[in-house]
Amino acid sequence: MRPTCNVATLIERFFTERLMRQRNVSGNTIASYRDTFRLLFMFAQVRLRKSPSALTLADLDATFIGAFLTDLEVKRGASAKTRNLRLTAIRSFFRFVSFEEPAHSALIRRVLAIPSKRHDKRQVHFLTRPEIEAVLAAPDRTTWLGRRDHTLLLVAAQTGLRLSELTGLDRDAVHLGSGAHVRCVGKGRKERTTPLTTLARCALQAWLKEPLRKGATALFPNVHGGRLSADSVQSLLGKHVRVAHKSCPSLKAKSVSPHVLRHSAAMELLQAGVDCSVIALWLGHESVETTQAYLHAHLALKEAALAKLKPYERGKRTRFQPNDRLLAFLETL
C-alpha cells in the first residue's frame, strides 16, 4: 500500500469528475456530500492532528471512519438517519477510489463493509382538515406578507410540494388556464406537474396580480425580491401556527413543519380514496413503497379493516411448553 496517496487530489477528482461531470448530480447532492467531508476533515484535524490537505488514504481506514460516525451521534447529536446519510456519501467516495487506487482495495473493502445503522421509523405526522383551515386563516391578508404567506401555505397544503420545490417555483411555473397546474423540478431533477384546486387557482390568480418586488422571478419572494430560504418558510409557518392555536387548540400538541403540510396533502388524497400509486406520482416518490407510510398512519383505515374481522372465540390459551433446553433458553429472551 502506498501511504503517499493524497486524499485532497482524490476528493477534488471525486467532486469535479465523478459527481459533476460524469454523473451530473444535483446541487443538493453536491451540498450534502460537501458537508459530509467538511465534517470528516474537521474530525481528522482534531483526532489525527493533520490538516485536510495532508491526509493520506491510509488515514481514512475503517476504524477512523467508524470513530467519525460515532462522534457524529455522540458529540454532535446526529440521528441514526443522519449518520447513515453521511455514510452514504463516504461509500460513494470509496467506490470511486476503488477504481482510481486499486492498490488500496483491502482498505476500501473494509470501509465499504461498514453497515448502515438500523433506526426506529417514526409514524407520519399530519394535520386534520380543521387544523389546516386554522393555519390558512392565520395570516393577515390585509398586508402583502400576509397574502404571500396565505397563498404559499395553501399551495403547500394542496399540492404536497417539498420545501425546496416550493421555494424554487418561479412565476412562469404556474398555469392558470384550463387544467390549472404548477410545474416543479423535484428530487433527481425530475420535472412533474401538479394540478390545482379551484381555491388554489383563485388564490394564485390574485397573488400574481400583486406588484412585483424588485423584479422578482420567484413565485413567493422575500421582501427584497429574492427567494425565501428554508428557515424563513419554517419561521413564517411557526408564526401562523401559533396564531392558529387560539382557534384550534389541537395544534398545540403538534410540531408543524413544511413537510407536515406535505404529509397532510397526501393524507387528504388517501382519505378521498385515491390509490397509493397515484399519490406516489403526485408527490414525486421514487417508489410506491415510500407512499405506504401513509397507510400505516391512517388510523381510520385500520379501524375499518378491524371491523371486518371475525372476533376470536373465547377459549383457554395453550402455552408453549419447550421440550428441549435450547428451546427453553430461547423462550426466556
157 in the same domain as 82: no
The CA distance from 244 to 70, in Å, is 40
282 in the same domain as 149: yes
Q: Which domain holds residue 108?
A: 7-113
175 in the same domain as 28: no
In this structure, what is the dihedral angle of CA atoms 137, 141, 142, 145, given to the nearest 10 degrees? 130
pLDDT band at 63 (very low <50, low <70, confident <90, very high): very high
Average pLDDT rounded to a whole number, residues 265-274: 85
157 in the same domain as 20: no
- Answer whether residue 312 is part of any domain: no
| Model pTM score | 0.70
Nearest Cα residue to 90 out of 45, 42, 47, 38: 38
pLDDT tens for 9-50 read 999 999 999 999 999 988 888 999 999 999 999 999 999 999
Q: At a CB cut-off of 8 Å and minimum separation 6, what does 191 contact?
A: 183, 184, 185
The structural domain count of the chain equals 2
Domain end (from 55, 78, 113): 113
- Answer whether residue 35 is part of any domain: yes
215 in the same domain as 191: yes
Q: How far is CA 149 from its chain centroid? A: 22
> Using alpha carbons only, how large is the chain's radius of gyration in Å?
26
144 in the same domain as 278: yes
pLDDT higher than threshold 90 for residue 88: yes
287 in the same domain as 140: yes
pLDDT value of position 310: 66
256 in the same domain as 164: yes
- Answer whether residue 2 is part of any domain: no
% of the chain residues with pLDDT over 90: 63
User: At 86, which CATH number?
Assistant: 1.10.150
User: At 172, which CATH number?
Assistant: 1.10.443.10
Identify the helix (H) or strand (E) that includes residue 326.
Answer: helix 325-331
206 in the same domain as 299: yes
- Answer whether residue 329 is part of any domain: no
Nearest Cα residue to 262 out of 244, 287, 243, 279: 279
Q: At a CB cut-off of 8 Å and minimum separation 6, what does 150 contact?
A: 136, 139, 141, 203
Q: Report whether 265 contacts 157 (CB < 8 A).
A: yes
Q: Report whether 36 contacts 87 (CB < 8 A).
A: no
Query: Catalytic residues, which ones?
Result: 162, 187, 259, 262, 285, 294
299 in the same domain as 193: yes
pLDDT higher than threshold 80 for residue 299: no
287 in the same domain as 257: yes
The CA distance from 266 to 297, in Å, is 11
pLDDT tens for 219-250 read 999 999 999 999 999 999 999 999 999 999 99
pLDDT band at 2 (very low <50, low <70, confident <90, very high): very low
At 324, list the grid cell.
428441549
DSSP of 94-136, one letter per residue?
Answer: HHHHHHH-GGGHHHHHHHHTPPPPP---PPPP---HHHHHHHH
Nearest Cα residue to 72 out of 64, 61, 60, 80: 80
263 in the same domain as 170: yes
